[in-house]
A and B are shown apart, each in its own frame.
Chain A
Amino acid sequence: MDFFFQQLSNGLTVGGIYALIALGYTMVYGVMKLINFAHGELFALGAYIGYSLLVTMNLGGRLGPPMAIALTIIMVASLVALAGHLLERAAYRPLSHSDRLSAVVSALGASIFLQNAIMIKWGAQYRAYGADLLPNVIVNLFGQNVPLIRILVFLFAVVVMTALYAFIHRTKLGLAIRAAAIDQGAAKLMGVDVRRVIAVVFIIGPALGGLAGLLVGLYYGQINFIMGQLYGLKAFTAAIIGGIGNIPGAMIGGLLLGLIEALGAAYVSVAWKDALTFVVLILILVFRPTGLLPERVAEKL
């Protein structure tokens, strides 16, 4: 039971991170019907910006950990959002009237470019976040000992996702995003500036992905420049599990994938952890390509 609970809490934490990244894939796909292959690299960029702020600039030492992390969260979200926006302007907008395939190739190119840019800027070796940033506290939850950081990371992911959900469903801009995801042409006829919607999606998605990168740095303590590939692929799987283009689906898919991975690693084999993810991806694509969520819930964004 104790062992199981540890896996469960770990799975939910990792799942929360997957869900944050998956939201970026799903939002962009929802509106543009394009897989932003560079999204994993934006996630890695978030991890590295966090590294620069917390380790290189030693914000933790100067401001104290709580202030430093709060500031880092804001900086990472805004800088990665900016990077996402520039990416959209440079790699996607000029191709908005071209074939879908051109945009896909452009996305792959942007991904390779970003990954190499990160390597040149920060180096090819692993980088370590300081261990002293978050207090290494174990708290007692339902009679089980759980590291505080797990709870914090998970709660942070849930709060961000709830805020996003409220934004999409309660605001005028959110309504426009949903409309553009359903029928771009009809949305234009309603007076929605679809170009602006795309810009917004390319700001929110990368911001969430960047934050996920920061969380990985804080949770695992180390990052490397190709981390975007594996996390990107896993989060993409999470988005597919929930039904790509579907926001609640990405959240549920992320959490589910985190749990599958953690429990699979614990009860099947650690070595098969990543393979398990892609077995799930293949199974979903074969048996339920529209995702696990029922159609009615899957109202695209």
Chain B
Amino acid sequence: MLELIDLKVSYGGVEAIHGLSLTVKQGELVAILGANGAGKTTTLMAISGLVRPKSGAIYFKKERLDTLRSHEVVQRGIAQVPEGRRVFGPMTVEENLKLGAFSKKRWSEKTYKKVMDLFPRLEERKVQMAGTLSGGEQQMLAIGRALMAEPSVLLLDEPSLGLAPLLVKSIFQAIADINSSGVTIILVEQNARAALKLASRGYVLDVGRLVIVDSAPNLLNNPVVTDAYLGAKST
């Protein structure tokens, strides 16, 4: 469904991704793991069209994606929840959700209800400025906002970042629910163990290179992965 072929991305003269190939099948939940600077966020930004790859290609449902502009990517049904949530702080929760639905011709009450069922907390905070929400609520809003675009693929960048463990659990539960409702998900995480419990497969990146691709259970048992990313021996 979504395919990256030998993707190379550079910022200025510095190459951040040195040839990454990746495929995601319809309905899958795939994790991208790796330390800081591995190129995880860059990969998502390239899919979303916010950075242009230097070479290689991205295909989505047989259509070339990497030549499209970012709003066209959203129109194709690929939404992203960016790192650090990036909700529109001086706008209300409702306005944030409206922006999420920006790519849609009209506001869908049905989708809105679905999002509210998933995150009832947002309903209570509807008229509140997004900037005044707690970190967990902002993450809910960021995910809910992306869902308003009714995406077929959802890109999640570090949804657990900076959240209390209890909240992480409920956010991951929500991600599992979204996936089981049929949305394909690419999950970028530093919290590798939690991510691999949800994912069917995982890609492990290291400084812009793909090191391992495997099924999630295999990755959880792979000593290289557990040592480096799961903090089995050291943190």
Contact = CB atoms under 8 A, between A and B. Distances in A.
Contact of A191 (B50, B89, B90, B149): B149
A189 B142 CA distance: 11
Nearest to B48: A189
B28 interface: no
A187 B86 CA distance: 10
Nearest to A188: B70
User: How large, as a class, is the contact surface on chain B?
Assistant: 20 to 34
Contacts, number: 65
Nearest to B146: A189
Contact of B75 (A172, A191, A194): A191
Nearest to A185: B50
A234 B200 CA distance: 62
A179 B91 contact: yes
Interface stretch (B96-104, B181-189, B225-233): B96-104
A206 B98 CA distance: 28
Interface in B78-108: 79-80, 82, 86-91, 95, 98-100, 102-103
A192 interface: yes
Chain A binding surface, main DSSP class: helix
B54 interface: no
Interface string B38-65: 0000000000111000000000000000
B71 A179 contact: no
B74 interface: yes
A190 B82 CA distance: 11
Contacts of B79: 189
Given A175-B99, A179-B99, A193-B71, A188 B50 contact: yes
A176 B82 contact: no
Contact of A182 (B80, B91, B149): B91
B145 interface: yes
A187 B99 CA distance: 8
A178 interface: yes
A160 to B, nearest CB: 24
Nearest to A173: B102
Contacts of B90: 182, 299-300
A175 B100 CA distance: 11
Contacts of B69: 193, 195
B91 A299 contact: yes
Contacts of B86: 183, 185-186, 189
Contacts of B91: 178-179, 182, 299
Interface in A176-232: 176, 178-179, 182-183, 185-195
B88 A179 contact: yes
B100 A190 contact: yes
A188 B89 contact: no
A186 B103 contact: no
Contacts of A182: 88-91
A187 B80 CA distance: 11
A179 B89 CA distance: 10
A299 B92 CA distance: 11
Nearest to A183: B86
Given A178-B91, A185-B86, 15 more contacts: A175-B99, A175-B102, A178-B88, A182-B89, A185-B82, A188-B70, A189-B70, A189-B80, A189-B86, A190-B74, A191-B71, A192-B99, A194-B71, A195-B69, A299-B91
Closest 7 CB pairs of A and B: A191-B103, A191-B74, A299-B90, A188-B70, A186-B86, A193-B71, A190-B99
Interface of B: 48-50, 69-71, 74-75, 79-80, 82, 86-91, 95, 98-100, 102-103, 145-146, 149
Interface of A: 172, 175-176, 178-179, 182-183, 185-195, 299-300
